[in-house]
Amino acid sequence: MTEAVEGHVTTEIVMLNPETVRGVSNMTSQEFIAALMSRLGGKNPEETGGFQEAPLAYDAVWALALALNKTVAPLKAKGRRLEDFNYNNHDITSEIYRALNTSSFEGVSGQVVFDAQGSRMAMTLIEQLQGGSYKKIGYYDSSQKNLSWFGNDVWIGAGPPADRTVVIEEYRFLSQKLFAAVSVFAGLGILFGIVCLTFNIYNGNVRYIQNSQPYLNNMTAVGCMMALAAVFPLGIDGHHVHRSQFPVVCQFRLWLLGLGFSLAYGSMFTKIWWVHTLFTKKDEKKEKKKQHLEPWKLYATVGVLLAIDFLSLMIWQIVDPLHITVEKFTKEAPKEDLDVLIQPLLEHCSSEKMNTWLGTRPLFFFFYPLISQSFSLSCFALL
């Protein structure tokens, strides 16, 4: 217990003015104690009830006397006297209260001042337990907002303990090793896409390549490369760019991934859908096989669907653009310091109606076959 309480700080009201100042009673605090001791007739002060509070009681009597003295003139102006006081007379009571509330004088306990609620605003003594006994380390005067610090405080450790739990904000970033590893795989995918694109262009005159609609294959490869390239801006966070540049990264992520997926998925599905359309109609099966498949219809279908996706992204960017959002997670307490809490923060891209926009995009790809079929039928009708 002795070890636990060592170094703790305590406060109490200053009951005896530590300064040698002659107050309204024409006595200093030391003279008051000497007069009090002579009245006790040699009794032990520690065994005398109320000895420590005696200066407060003495100044309280002086405060009341001065307040009553100040009320004589105002009451006389109203045709009243202090002798007329009773507990039902609110006029005399309010005058006494007003006089007490405005009292300010130097007493043996220090400066006597009352707050708006009538409480004594006394000086506060600050003490610390050092080596089993209390030592004065400072005074605080609440009326003057003044702190007197002696500088003789002693602490266990590097310094005084924290008066509150310090919350340190700490931004969490993507693991650079993970980002590098995924970037390498994305780069290999892009490199493989370039190889496929080069092979397709170089062998464009081969009949098997021509029959497989090489331009649609090229668009699929380009779309896949765009989607893989979105890995790089997706891994960029506050560790790489300034907060002012983060919204640009957010928009770049959205457009690169959105258009890349639309181009890859759109060209691939258009090719499959047209093959399905040409070879599943029983009545026109033979005729369709003989009919030459005109490439412009396929490109037009992909172009229309890409334009729809482009328009939706443009509306999203204008109406509700992406911006940086800081998300706060549950505070963490480090094991090495009990007075500190870590507030994890994460920066990510968001908009006011993020869920609505993300919900409409899957619907677009869900109805993609219907859009493709409708456009295909329109092309046939035009022909």
Is beta strand 110-113 parallel, antiparallel or unpaired with respect to 340-350?
unpaired
Question: Taken in order 60, 65, 70, 75, is the CA torsion positive or negative?
Answer: positive
Count how many residues are written for the chain: 383
Q: Which residue from 309, 19, 337 is spatially nearest to 165, judged by alpha carbons?
A: 337
Measured CA to CA, the distance from residue 150 to residue 342 in angstroms comes to 35
Most confident segment among 51-55, 200-204, 210-214, 283-287: 51-55
Average pLDDT taken over every residue of the chain: 80
In whole angstroms, what is the distance from residue 32 CA to residue 21 CA?
Answer: 11
CA distances from 144 to 18, 39, 202 (A): 16, 34, 90
Q: Tens digit of pLDDT for each residue in 343-377?
A: 888 887 777 777 776 666 655 555 555 444 444 44
CA–CA gap between residue 226 and residue 220 (Å, rounded): 10
320-335 per-position pLDDT tens digit: 777 777 888 888 888 7
pTM of the model: 0.49
Give the residue with greater pLDDT, 290 vs 244.
Answer: 244
- Kindly give, in sequence order, each residue whose CB lies less than 8 Å from that of residue 233, ignoring residues fewer than 6 positions away: 249, 252, 253, 256
Question: CA-CA distance, 107 to 103, in Å (whole number)?
Answer: 12
Instruction: State the Cα–Cα distance between residues 207 and 298, nearest whole angstrom.
Output: 18
Residue 120 scores a pLDDT above 70: yes
In this predicted structure, which of 21-30, 185-194, 243-252 has the lowest mean pLDDT? Answer: 243-252
